[in-house]
Structure 1
Amino acid sequence: MTRAATLAEIAREAGVSTPTVSKVLNGRADVAPATRERVEELLHQHGYQRRRGSSAPSSPLLELVFHELESAWAMEVIRGVENVVREEGMNVVLSESAGRLSLGQSWTDGVLSRRPIGVVLVLSGLDQAQQAQLTSRDIPFVVMDPAGDPGQDVPAVGTTNWNGGLAATRHLLDLGHRRIGMIAGPRPMMCSRARIDGYRAALETAGVTVVPALIREGDFHHESGYREGLELLRLPDRPTAIFTGNDLQALGLYEAARELGLRIPEDLSVVGFDDLPVARWVGPPLTTVRQPLTEMAEVAARMVIDLSRGHQPATLRVDLATTLVERSSTAPPPRADEG
Structure 2
Amino acid sequence: MSQRELGLVTSKDIAKLAGVSQSTVSRVLNGSTLVTPETRERVLSFMGSYSPNANARAMRTNRTQTIGVVVSEITNPFYPELLEAIYRACDARGLTVTLWNEHDPAAPAAVSGVRRGLVDGICFVSATSDASAVHQLAEQGFPTVLINRGMAEVACDQVTSDNYGAGRLAAEYLVNNGVTRIGMVSGLDTALAVVERRHGFLDVLHEHGINVRADWTVSGPLSFETGYSAANIIASGHERPEAIFCGNDLLGFGVASSLQHMRVGIPSDMWVMGVDDLPMASWEAFNLTSIRQSVNDMATIGLEMLTERIDGLETEPRKIHLPTHLVIRNSTAHRPLQP
TM-score, scaled relative to structure 2:
0.74
Judge conservation of contact 2:183–2:212 (CA < 8 Å) in 1. no
Aligned pair partner of 1:96 in 88, 101, 121: 101
Judge conservation of contact 1:147–1:188 (CA < 8 Å) in 2. no
Aligned pair partner of 1:79 in 73, 80, 84: 84
Letter in 2 for 1:76: E
Shift of 1:80: 1.9
Matched, 1:281 2:283: yes
Q: Deviations over 1:282-301 (max 9, x none)?
A: 43411100111222122111
Matched, 1:271 2:273: yes
Judge conservation of contact 1:148–1:188 (CA < 8 Å) in 2. no
Letter in 2 for 1:79: E
| 1:320 counterpart residue number | 322
Gapped runs of 5+ residues in structure 2? 1-56
Judge conservation of contact 1:69–1:95 (CA < 8 Å) in 2. no
Cα distance in 2, alignment partners of residues 116 and 327 from structure 1: 42
Matched, 1:142 2:142: no
| Aligned-residue CA RMSD (Å) | 2.8
Cα distance in 2, alignment partners of residues 250 and 105 from structure 1: 33
Judge conservation of contact 1:229–1:256 (CA < 8 Å) in 2. yes
Letter in 2 for 1:139: F
Q: 1:121 to 1:177 in 2, by over 3 A?
A: same
Letter in 2 for 1:279: A
TM-score, scaled relative to structure 1:
0.74
| 1:220 counterpart residue number | 222
Shift of 1:315: 5.9
Q: Percent identity?
A: 26
Q: 1:282 to 1:332 in 2, by over 3 A?
A: closer
The higher-RCO structure (CA 8 Å, 6+ apart) is 1
SS at match of 2:59: coil
Q: 1:112 to 1:96 in 2, by over 3 A?
A: farther
Give 1:83-162 correspondences, 5 Å limit. Answer: 83-98=88-103, 105-113=108-116, 115-125=118-128, 131-132=135-136, 139-146=142-149, 148-151=151-154, 153-162=155-164
Letter in 2 for 1:117: D
Cα distance in 1, alignment partners of residues 102 and 157 from structure 2: 18
Shift of 1:135: 6.2
SS at match of 2:272: strand
Q: Deviations over 1:170-203 (max 9, x none)?
A: 2122222111101011123211111111121121
| 1:34 counterpart residue number | none
Q: Deviations over 1:234-269 (max 9, x none)?
A: 121111100000001100011110111112111110
Aligned pair partner of 1:256 in 255, 258, 261: 258
Cα distance in 1, alignment partners of residues 259 and 61 from structure 2: 54
SS at match of 1:54: helix
Cα distance in 2, alignment partners of residues 72 and 256 from structure 1: 19
Cα distance in 2, alignment partners of residues 268 and 129 from structure 1: 42
Cα distance in 2, alignment partners of residues 132 and 283 from structure 1: 44
Gapped runs of 5+ residues in structure 1? 1-51, 334-339
Letter in 1 for 2:115: L
Shift of 1:331: 3.0
SS at match of 1:267: coil
SS at match of 1:170: helix
Letter in 1 for 2:89: V
Judge conservation of contact 2:232–2:259 (CA < 8 Å) in 1. yes
Shift of 1:133: 5.0
| 1:5 counterpart residue number | none
| 1:16 counterpart residue number | none
Give 1:174-253 correspondences, 5 Å limit. Answer: 174-253=176-255
Q: Deviations over 1:57-84 (max 9, x none)?
A: 8861111111222232112211221222
Judge conservation of contact 2:64–2:118 (CA < 8 Å) in 1. no
Shift of 1:312: 4.0
